Chain A
Amino acid sequence: MKRRFLIISTLLLAIAFIPVFSYASADAAQIKAYTFSNVRDYVESSAFNVPNTNPIWINFRQWDNSGYNYTITYKVQSAKGYSATVHCSHSSSISNQNGSAQYQQMSGTPVAGSKYLRIEVTSGATYTNGYGELYQN
């Protein structure tokens, strides 16, 4: 009787956790939302929390005012400034104010804790704009 109760309760507990596991694997939680305009060197966000070390995804739109070529690099880093440690980053030269947003995995390994987003125009001398969000599972 005691054994049967133990088996059933273990099974029930396991069943109860199924939605939790599936939720965790399917859903990406937003960890940061940003917008910027007229940037030709860089901008930095205030501190935000990176909950864990899973990959960070970026969903973004970016464009410039004059139709020149440029590259924007999005960096999640330990502090503000050029020489801070960059945990993960993503670079893009596209212009997608209209059309579909880009959803890309940032390269590098995230570190949990209080981090900063730095958006830097790494090539080209043009004024850029954009908005987007960072997600993590």
Chain B
Amino acid sequence: MRMLSKWKFKFILVLSFIFLIGFAFNAVATNNLVKDKSPVLTIEEVEAFYKDYAEAWQNQDYDSIKRNSIVVTGEETIAHHKRLYSEGVYLLSAQVNSLEKITVNELNKRIEDKLSKLSNEEWVIEDVPIEDVPMEVRNADKNMPREELVVNEERIKAYKLMENQIAQEGSIYVANVTLNFTDETIVDDEQKFVFHDGQWKVYVR
């Protein structure tokens, strides 16, 4: 009788461990699912995206371009596409070389690394000798009457809203894409995709 209760105790102990491990795995998996709100994006979907984008540009369907991208500069991106088209420049086709999901922090780090290289290589500021600077410029008073240039509040709100959403997602899809334009071929290693309003959109910031 004593032996039986010992075995019973061991059995309950092992069963408890199995349940413990099972629940722990379940909790981790559920937690990951809650965190990862956006669906999975595949290379095929990105290729289809660029096919539609090229067609829309060729057909001057600017509403479609606007719908499929999050460019917080709004109307300006359409003006940009229109101007390029009038100059004979538009997208013919695109080839997606790779697609990866990275954290927003990783993306910011990549952008910063790229910019620091750019600022070191391309922007060299040469100082103008002080004797070449007119006296009234040297004496420019920071309190002189100036036009105060103010930003468009709506645009800032849109930026913040988008950045907040991306920060909540925690990660973003980044594609390396070869873009064949009418005048040249460009490899862009930082085409960003976010899930917004129920669909994947290219994000330009």
Interface residues of A (CB under 8 A from B): 26-28, 30, 32-36, 38-46, 57, 59, 61, 68-71, 81-83, 91-94, 101-104, 117, 119, 123-125, 131-133, 135
Chain A CB within 8 A of B136 CB: yes
Report A-chain residues with C-beta under 8 Å of the C-beta of B134.
Answer: 26-28, 135
Q: Which residue of B lies closest to A102 (CB)?
A: B125
Give the Cβ gap from A74 to chain B, nearest Cβ, in Å.
11
Is B147 a contact partner of A33 (Cβ separation < 8 A)?
A: yes
Q: Does A70 lie within 8 Å of B137, measured CB to CB?
A: no
Would B146 and A35 count as touching, CB distance under 8 A?
yes
Asked if B147 and A28 sit within 8 Å, CB to CB, the answer is: no
What DSSP secondary structure best describes chain A's contact surface? strand
Across the interface, do B115 and A28 meet the contact criterion of CB distance under 8 Å?
no
How near does chain A come to B76, taking the closest CB pair, in angstroms? 4
Assuming A32-B147, A133-B144, what are 10 further A-B pairs, CB within 8 angstroms?
Answer: A41-B159, A45-B149, A69-B112, A71-B119, A83-B80, A83-B82, A91-B123, A92-B125, A103-B128, A104-B128
State the CA gap A84–B150 with chains docked (Å): 20
A59 touches B115 (CB 8 A): no
Query: Is B123 within 8 A of A81, CB to CB?
Result: no
**Do the beta carbons of A41 and B151 come within 8 Å of each other?**
yes
Residues of B within 8 A of A132 (CB): 140
B174 to chain A, nearest CB (A): 15
Q: Who on chain A is nearest to B115 by CB?
A: A69
Would you call B118 an interface residue if the criterion is a C-beta within 8 Å of the partner chain's C-beta atoms?
yes
- A40-B140 Cα distance, complex, nearest whole Å: 26
Distance to closest chain B CB from A31 (angstroms):
12
CB contact under 8 A between A123 and B147, given known A27-B134, A27-B136, A41-B73 = no
A125 touching B111, Cβ below 8 Å = yes
Interface contact A93-B146, CB-CB below 8 Å: no
Determine if A103 and B149 form an interchain contact, defined as CB atoms under 8 angstroms apart: no
Complex Cα spacing A42 to B151, Å: 7
B137 in complex: contacting residue of A34, A57, A61, A119, CB < 8 Å: A57
Q: How far is the CA of A82 from the CA of B75 in the complex (A)?
A: 9
The CA of A23 and the CA of B180, in the complex, are separated in Å by: 55
Considering the complex, give the chain B residue whose CB is closest to the CB of A94.
B125
The yes or no answer to B205 lying at the interface (CB within 8 A) is yes
Q: Which residues of A contact B142 (CB under 8 A)?
A: 61, 131
Tell whether B184 is near chain A: CB-to-CB under 8 Å.
no
Is B10 interfacial (CB-CB < 8 Å)? no
Smallest CB separation, A57 vs chain B (Å): 7
Distance of B148 from chain A, by nearest CB (Å): 5
Q: Are B137 and A59 in contact (CB under 8 A)?
A: yes
Interface string of B65-86 (1 = CB under 8 A from A): 0000000110010011011000
Give A82's nearest chain B residue, CB to CB: B76
Do residues B115 and A38 form an inter-chain contact, with CB atoms below 8 A? no
**A34–B136 CB distance below 8 A:** no
